[in-house]
Homo-oligomer: A and B are copies of this chain.
Amino acid sequence: MARPRKPLLSRDRIVGAASALVDAEGLEAVSTRRLAAELGVSGPSLYNHFRNKDEILDAVADAVSAKVDLSMFDECDARDWRTALHDWALSYRAALADHPHLVPLLARGPGRRPAGLKVADAVFGAMVRAGWPPAQATYIGALMRYFITGSALGSFARGFVKDETAYDPADYPHLGQAHLLADRQEQIDEGAFATGLRALLDGLEAQYATLRPTPHHP
């Protein structure tokens, strides 16, 4: 076979196949050999398009960041930064929920992934425009990412196992109330996310109110 007249692979085709494989069977199902087989080529072929496996997974992860809606930051100003942050958080969380197996990768931060950086850039820019000092705007981008990715990781990994016998009331006197059992986990995740998001935004608003107002433009 050797080199075909038209390339069999492309970065896009590889990323697409890897993405499908991760979503269907999880991160640990992705091996270079398995992925290559899925694409109808032999393992080493991938190395003509990516330096290594990590680079492939980075590209897959970045495709998720690219789906996060950022339009709410476009016209956002001092009046509605809270609404923008809120809507962005929901969009971010929804994007992660669509690809739960990729959350561990995304939780590590943007690195040099372009879409991840675009997200960070949009949040920072909007917060500065809304009147937050640059340092605070940076913190807001980071702490929102902490909470959103942390919640996604915690949720999708299903923090508690299903087997009730794992939780002996003698060891954990308060868990017996079944408030933490797996069958209620989804409601708990929703409630905890909503409660935490509201608390965060309430807290930030209180802090925003203590800033000295930015001078008017003449």
A interface with B by C-beta (< 8 Å): 104, 107-112, 114, 117-118, 120-121, 124-125, 128, 134-143, 145-151, 153-154, 157-161, 163, 166-167, 171-175, 177, 179-180, 188-189, 191-193, 195-196, 198-204, 206-207
Would B112 and A174 count as touching, CB distance under 8 A? no
Smallest CB-CB A-B distances: 6 pairs: A150-B150, A109-B159, A199-B203, A143-B196, A142-B192, A108-B157
In angstroms, Cα B112 to Cα A7, docked, is 49
* A199: contacting residue among B112, B167, B191, B204, CB under 8 A: B204
**A165 CB to nearest chain B CB (Å):** 10
A187 nearest CB neighbor, chain B only: B135
Would B159 and A191 count as touching, CB distance under 8 A? no
**A134 CB to nearest chain B CB (Å):** 5
Residues of chain B with a CB closer than 8 A to A199's CB: 143, 199-204, 206-207
Would A154 and B142 count as touching, CB distance under 8 A? yes
Residues of chain B with a CB closer than 8 A to A180's CB: 120, 124, 138, 141
4 additional contacts (CB under 8 A) given A117-B171, A135-B191, A147-B147: A107-B157, A118-B171, A135-B179, A206-B206
Would B142 and A189 count as touching, CB distance under 8 A? yes
Residues of chain B with a CB closer than 8 A to A121's CB: 171-175
